[in-house]
Structure 1
Amino acid sequence: MSAEEERFIESMGLFFERQGVPRIGGRILGLLLLADEPLALGEIARLLRVSPASVSTNIRQLQTSGTVEPASIPGDRRHYYVFNSVGWDHRLELAVSAMDALSRLCQDALASPGRGKRVKLRETVEFCAFYSEELSGAAERWRARFARKPGTQATRAPSPSARQRRSGTR
């Protein structure tokens, strides 16, 4: 790996650490963004000079976020991983889901006796609705933009927007 690539990988680690992701998770993302081929868990550990256990733990978290996905090489039993371009879409979906869950919590609290006049709870529900709609619109615009790029291909069907989920339409 070149010094430039190492700097990029470390910068990704620091960036994601500031976002609440362990630094090694950000470094793994940085490495996978640069990789031309799927990388095995041991190879990732060797290139980043970290333990395979740390890579394994962080890979699972990155798979949950949708930014990393497993890959296989015919005839090879090792576990390989690649950056999942559709993962950015998944991150937007997770943010929408989080806003929907927060809104439900606040709505439940508002429904409790004596809490119906809580302005902060109503403002939070309103913020969640606003933010969820904005994120849903951003996700739709991203999917359309991503699909138009040469050499890219969305591998998942678009998920329903927050408005569609609430109304039950598709």
Structure 2
Amino acid sequence: MRREGVSAEEERFIESMGLFFERQGVPRIGGRILGLLLLAETPLALGELARLLRVSPASISTNIRQLQASGLVDPASIPGDRRHYFIFNSAGWDHRLELAVSAMDALGQMCQDALAMPGLRDRHKLREAVEFCDFYREELGGAAERWRARFTRKPSAQTPNTPSPSTRQRRNVTR
């Protein structure tokens, strides 16, 4: 990626990421930010993200907070520079699996609690929902373990500034 702008190929990828994530319920700009950060070789400041994506800094700021909460974007700092920088967090994939497992746990528990009520005890669809949640959780749990093993085996997956998937901390990035 050139500092002065993005190439036509990069722009196509960034836009396709925006549309993909929009279909997943994320604002299009959030998907575009993820696409840009996936391509970036160095951390990008809020202003750089806004300039490269041709959107307002306020839009970037709002969406960055949501992406940080999802675990896919992390803050970074450059010593001596007071601006806020951001990087794509590869460990965020692991976090996405954890969120899906947590969602299935919550749904399964809600259905299990409903089955404990005398008037709902015999509802077969609730039992089926509990079974599905248990199955889905087991499958995702196994997928998360396989992903962690696969991610940590790849030599290119970890650089000095990229922690392992289990690390959830802010990083200092130097040039």
TM-score, length basis structure 1: 0.90
1:87 aligns with: 92
1:156 CA drift (Å): 4.4
Indicate the SS of the match to 1:79. Answer: strand
| 1:62 equivalenced with 2:67 (yes/no) | yes
2:144 aligns with: 139
For residues 164 and 86 of structure 2, the distance between their equivalents in structure 1, rounded to whole angstroms, comes to 16
Structure 1 segments, 4+ long, off by >4 Å, are none
1:120 aligns with: 125
CA displacement 1:83-106 (0-9 Å, x = unmatched): 000000100000000000001111
Going from structure 1 to structure 2, the CA distance change for 1:157 and 1:6 (only over 3 Å counts) comes to closer
TM-score, length basis structure 2: 0.87
Identity rate, percent? 80
| 1:157 equivalenced with 2:166 (yes/no) | yes
2:48 aligns with: 43
Indicate the SS of the match to 1:77. Answer: strand
For residues 150 and 97 of structure 1, the distance between their equivalents in structure 2, rounded to whole angstroms, comes to 30
Indicate the SS of the match to 1:151. Answer: helix
Structure 1 gaps, min length 5: 159-170
1:162 aligns with: none
Indicate the SS of the match to 1:78. Answer: strand
CA displacement 1:51-98 (0-9 Å, x = unmatched): 111111111111111110000000111110000000001000000000
Indicate the SS of the match to 2:82. Answer: coil
Structure 2 gaps, min length 5: 1-5, 168-175
Paired amino acid for 1:155:
S
Larger strand percent: 2
| 1:14 equivalenced with 2:24 (yes/no) | no
Q: How many residues align?
A: 158
Indicate the SS of the match to 1:105. Answer: helix
